[in-house]
Amino acid sequence: VVGGEEATPHRWKWQISPVWDPDGFAHLCGGTIVSPYWVMTAAHCIIGKMYRVALGEHDLYEDEGTENYVDVNYIYLHPYWNPTDLTLGNDIALLHLADPVSEDSNIEIATLPTPGDTLPSGHPCYITGWGLIQAGGNAAIRLQEALLPVVDHATCSRDEWWGSGVNQRMICAGGDGSKAGCHGDSGGPLNCEGTDGSWVVQGIVSFGPGTCNIYQKPTVFTRVSAYLDWINEVRPGLSWSCVSSPLPPSSKSSARLLQAPSCSTSPHPAHPTLSLSVPTLWNPIRHSLPLAPAPPLPPSRHASRPYSSTTLQPLPSPNPPPLLIPTPSSGPNP
């Protein structure tokens, strides 16, 4: 988070850190607890197959006694997620946990919006995460927060803002050139004040300019209220078993399912190489000890022209991992 400040420890109790195990677990992105067995994050955060979720986290480098770690055994990508065309949206994934979340004074399940819920311009929302605190700088050790007021779609879709790069299944917030999300914040929540004063997770950090805090280039979020039907369809759980081939074209499954760690032996895919042109899927940050500076970013190429898919380098296509298909056997818990 650029231009923010350290959050009060455990203020955002549903914020989690999905950690990936390439050779040892390391923080990559953010995420949100949405039910006892389910975590929501961005689809572009899914770059490996061995995941664990860190709950009750604040300081990534300190054992504060509040942390709880749970393995992920199923990964569900939205079926229409396409990393080569950000204008489509659908940057959402659900992680099924091997064990249920136990709520306490530091861990809580998030409140989600109602279907079709939209926010007016200027509505107060907070982005939270452990991403870069300045473009080309270090990632945060302690959870950061920043107030990002909502920018309505009519404004955000103007040519001098994001133009055709955004659609109505997204939320724009910020854009003052000072406060913004950044690399490593992806997948985390956009926490917006509800009518009763409680906090509602309205968005999932998706993308922004390569150098993060650019005037009239607000942080862009997946709008959760546009995907509640899909979330609720996946979240109750089906019954799944491991196979080594993709789902057939005729499958009626509404989710692209990736592997369970217990049934996959294929090697980890390489860390993706992403363009820093605009708009940019922010790179997940490998937060491992000792903390090393993130690689410097080149000058932003934020032209005011409408977004073209040619400005973004596609993600590499690793060998497809084993997928999961429904069977009568036992499967994920609801």
**275 catalytic residue (yes or no):** no
In a domain, residue 195? The reply is yes
In a domain, 289, yes or no: no
Domain end call among 176, 191, 225? 225
Are 48 and 271 contacting, i.e. CB atoms less than 8 angstroms apart?
no
Write the CB contacts of 298 (distance below 8 Å, at least 6 apart in sequence).
Answer: 210, 276
Q: Is 186 a catalytic residue?
A: yes
Residue 23 counted as domain residue: yes
Residues 211 and 133 in one domain: yes
Q: Enumerate residue ranges in the chain where pLDDT < 70.
A: 21-25, 237-333
Q: Which two tokens stand for residue 276?
A: 């820093």
User: Rounded to whole angstroms, how far apart are CA atoms 164 and 213?
Assistant: 20
Q: Check whether residue 57 and residue 144 sit in a common domain.
A: no
Structure confidence at residue 26 (pLDDT): 78
Looking at the 3D structure of the chain, how many domains does it have?
A: 2
| Pair 51, 97: CB distance under 8 Å | no
Query: Which among 97, 113, 141 is the end of a domain?
Result: 97
- Which member of 10, 27, 44, 96 is catalytic? 44
Does 202 lie in the same domain as 149?
yes
Would residue 252 count as lying in a domain?
A: no
**Average per-residue pLDDT for the chain:** 76
Contact 98, 331 (CB under 8 A): no
Residue 330 lies in a domain: no
CATH number at residue 22: 2.40.10.10
Return the closest-CA partner of residue 159 out of 216, 86, 87.
216
Any domain includes 304:
no
CA dist 226 and 333 (Å) reads: 24
- Choosing from 17, 35, 157, 186, the catalytic residue is 186
Nearest CA-CA partner of 18 in 37, 1, 42: 42
Same domain, 160 and 70: no
Within-domain flag for 163: yes
Q: In the prediction, which pLDDT does 69 show?
A: 92
What pLDDT, on the 0 to 100 scale, is given for residue 19? 80
Which of 97, 131, 166 is where one domain is finished? 97
Q: Do 92 and 186 fall within a single domain?
A: no
Q: Which of 27, 91, 183, 225 is catalytic?
A: 91
The whole-number pLDDT of residue 258 equals: 52
Claim to verify: residue 86 and residue 135 sit in the same structural domain: no
Question: Do 150 and 56 lie in a common domain?
Answer: no
Range of the domain at 144: 123-225
Let me know whether 150 and 218 are in one domain.
yes
What's the pLDDT score for residue 280? 63
Please report the pLDDT score of residue 22 as a whole number. Answer: 59
pTM here is 0.77
Report yes or no on 161 lying in a domain: yes
